[in-house]
Amino acid sequence: MAEILRGAPVAAGIQEALVPRVSMLRGSGVVPTLAIVRVGERPDDLSYERAAEKRCGGLGIDVRKHVLPVSCSQRELEDVLRRVSSDPLVHGCLLFRPLPEGLDEEAASAALDPSKDVDAITEGSLLSTLAGRGDGFAPCTAEAVVALLDHYGVGIDGAEACVVGRSLVIGRPVGALLLSRNATVTVCHTHTRDLAGCCRRADIVVAAVGRAATIGPSCVREGQVVVDVGINWDEGAGRLVGDVDFDAVEPIVRGVTPVPGGVGSVTTSILARHVVEAAERTFA
């Protein structure tokens, strides 16, 4: 039976470490502040927004919401991002993506000051993540994967890691973060010839696919740690599931994250940590 690598204790550890940092900032007259920019009312965005508000609010981080209608123009969106960028009282900004059709994500991202980009939507933050420089912020979910591995004492240095998925939001940055921690990383995608073989060779498997049961028992072996980033709605079961066939994989591997209750529950704590760090950097 595998160890179930739950996100809650990881999130609790991150939050605990933030308490004195927030108190130091507030004591110096700086209220760490996150701006959330949302276009439309996508249920996924609303649910993440609620979680982010709750997490930040509980830590003494202020949240300011900017909500635009789906019919907003590119100019209106960029104006909001420029206002957030130039507001000295805002330290971090979260822009929900994907944006509705007709809005240009790349152009919108360029309107945001990279120093406030707490979820790596700007080219500068992504480059910093890929280069392992650490001057920008990595995407929160990607960093949550690494935080979870660290919390459970999973050795990354020298490990073979297989990341399934190559999106700029998760797959590639997770690969880059693991590589900068000296893992040997394979990144798989839809053209990978032998997905099961690539996964089985690895010590750490990270699934960021967006398709239920992509990682089944043929993809895993004893001793592995499997991190499931996927969030999929299982119509038949009427519940959220990951990309890993949990019931089939769990009896084989050394450790596996649940969905829900795994990586997803760490992400907002990483977001809060980024906002606090961005606020601290204004002192530097």
- Interface residues with ligand NAP (CB under 6 A) are 141, 164-167, 169-171, 188-192, 195, 208-211, 214, 229-232, 263-264, 267
CA distance 232 to 195: 20
Amino acid making up residue 139: P
As to burial, measured by CB atoms within 10 angstroms (0-12 exposed, 13-18 middle, 19+ buried), residue 190 is exposed
**Shortest distance, CB of residue 77 to ligand NAP, whole angstroms?**
20
CB-nearest residue to ligand NAP: 167
- The whole-angstrom distance between residue 281's C-alpha and the CA centroid of its chain comes to 21
Minimum distance between the CB of residue 252 and ligand NAP, rounded to whole angstroms? 19
**For residues 75 and 193, which CB has a smaller minimum distance to ligand NAP in the complex?**
193
Decide whether 158 or 216 has the Cβ nearer to ligand NAP: 216
Report in angstroms how near the CB of residue 173 gets to ligand NAP at its nearest: 10
CA–CA distance from 153 to each of 179, 221, 223, 225, 236 (Å)? 17, 19, 14, 11, 36
User: How far does Cα 139 stand from its chain's mean position?
Assistant: 5
Q: Which is nearer to ligand NAP, 165 or 255 (CB)?
A: 165
> Which two tokens mark 125?
């933050």
Residue 204 CB, nearest distance to ligand NAP (Å)?
16
Q: Count of residues for the chain?
A: 284
Complex with ligand NAP: residue 78 or 228, whichever CB lies closer: 228
